[in-house]
Amino acid sequence: MKLARIVAITLLLSGATVALAGIWFRYAIYGDQRLPVAQVDVIVPRGDDFRQIAGLLRERGVIDDVPAFLILARLRHADSDVHAGGYRFPAHMSESDVLEALRTGGAQVAVWVTVPEGFTAHQIAQRLSEARLGSADSFERYFLHHSIVVGGTRTANLEGFLFPSTYLMPLGATPEQIAKVMTDEFARELPRDAGQRARKVHLSVPAVVTLASLIEREAKADGERPLMAGVYYNRLRIGMPLEVDATIEYVFPEHKSEITRADLQIDSPYNTYLHTGLPPTPIANPGRPSLWAAFHPQASAYLYYVYKGNGHHAFARTLQEHNANVERYLR
């Protein structure tokens, strides 16, 4: 009985060795076998593991044998170093070359780019440049010197209208083409009743988007965004300065962790301590929750808010209540 078990195990190991040797022989001797027979475009999703990618390549006819491809990748230590994105694999490309293209991005024709909510045009330009899509200067120059029509009103530039999302951007695309992808997405995300709701608060749609950008930079909890929108509308209605620190920060070329008293005296149309009304343009690119809040504010009597920690704010109706909140949460 014991002898039979030993023989069975020996045969199993011998079979596995033969199989591995066969796979190795295939790539060592016949590594120039050509697949596919025609050019194939494949999108490699972000977050997929190598086995999922290999399965996708097999479905698309780029490779012929998933287990063999996995072993080849493991032997070359390339199974954890794959660039997600769009690939164009030429006809008659060997599986060995396919692996190298995945590892180096050599056959890549498009890259994934994530634009977080609240990024400015400057930050988006930097992110696109880091993704090898072009120079940051060229993107920023285009974003700040071109405009679109939103709700029947032409925008000052594209700040605020480059919708934050994850995009598959073609390598070699122009700033104009990339901007169009992002502004088209903004148009799809804009509430369908945006024009009607903007008229109700006596603002243009771009002006409401500007207000949304303030919410984006100030709010942390989604549940508080409509309430914060209500504070801004209350202040606008009575001609009270908005006094939003984030608008002053927008003036500076780089992020400031703290706004000083001297900063509050900067003579800029973005200084909402010195000037009433909204700033001339959005100060960031708002995401869906902030856009929704700006067009659907929560009615209240609040005129003030202060950050109290843990992602939440304390709201107040009067200056006396606000000063008490400041004393409680900041001092």
**What pTM was computed for the model?**
0.83
Task: Indicate whether 34 pLDDT > 50.
Answer: no
Rounded-to-integer distance, Cα 173 and Cα 152, Å: 28
Rounded-to-integer distance, Cα 152 and Cα 195, Å: 8
Q: Give the tokens for residue 156.
A: 């000052």
Task: Indicate whether 17 pLDDT > 90.
Answer: no
CATH of domain 34-111: 3.30.1490.480
What angle is formed at CA 190 by the lines to CA 186 and CA 196, rounded to 5 degrees? 145
Q: Give the tokens for residue 74.
A: 């493991």
Determine whether 177 is exposed, middle or buried from the number of CB atoms within 10 Å of its CB (0-12, 13-18, 19+).
Answer: exposed
Confidence of residue 32 (pLDDT cuts 50, 70, 90): very low
Q: What is the per-residue burial (b if ≥16 Cβ within 10 Å, else e) of 228-249? A: bbbbbbbbbeeeeebebbbbbb
Determine whether 168 is exposed, middle or buried from the number of CB atoms within 10 Å of its CB (0-12, 13-18, 19+).
Answer: middle
Task: Indicate whether 8 pLDDT > 70.
Answer: no
Q: Nearest 5°: phi and psi at 22?
A: -65, -40
Output the average pLDDT for the chain.
88
pLDDT, tens only, 260-277 = 888 888 889 999 999 999
Residue 115, classed as helix, strand or coil, is coil
pLDDT, tens only, 289-326 = 999 999 999 999 999 999 999 899 999 999 999 999 99
Instruction: State the pLDDT at residue 280.
Output: 96
pLDDT, tens only, 194-220 = 999 999 999 999 999 999 999 999 999
Residue 91: Cβ within 10 Å count: 11
Please confirm whether the linkage preceding 282 is cis (ω < 30° from 0).
no
- Distances in Å between the Cα of 79 and the Cα atoms of 28, 42, 255 are 18, 18, 38
Strands 108-114 and 166-170, how do they pair?
A: antiparallel
Q: Domain residues of the chain, as ranges?
A: 34-111, 112-189, 194-329
Could you identify the residue written with the tokens 């295939």? 26
First to last CA, the chain: 81
pLDDT, tens only, 94-149 = 888 898 888 888 888 999 999 999 999 999 999 999 999 999 999 999 999 999 99
CB neighbour list of residue 157: distance below 8 Å, 6 or more residues apart: 121, 143, 144, 145, 146, 147, 281
Confidence of residue 5 (pLDDT cuts 50, 70, 90): low
Rounded-to-integer distance, Cα 160 and Cα 119, Å: 9
pLDDT, tens only, 274-286 = 999 999 999 999 9
Rounded-to-integer distance, Cα 6 and Cα 103, Å: 42
Instruction: State the pLDDT at residue 293.
Output: 97
Q: Where do the H-state alpha helices sit in the chain? A: 2-29, 50-59, 66-75, 95-104, 121-130, 136-145, 175-189, 194-200, 205-218, 225-238, 245-249, 288-295, 319-329
Nearest CA among 246, 192, 186 for reference residue 216: 246
Task: Indicate whether 179 pLDDT > 70.
Answer: yes
Phi/psi zone of residue 134: left (φ > 0), alpha (ψ -120 to 50 degrees), beta? Answer: left
Rounded-to-integer distance, Cα 303 and Cα 115, Å: 32
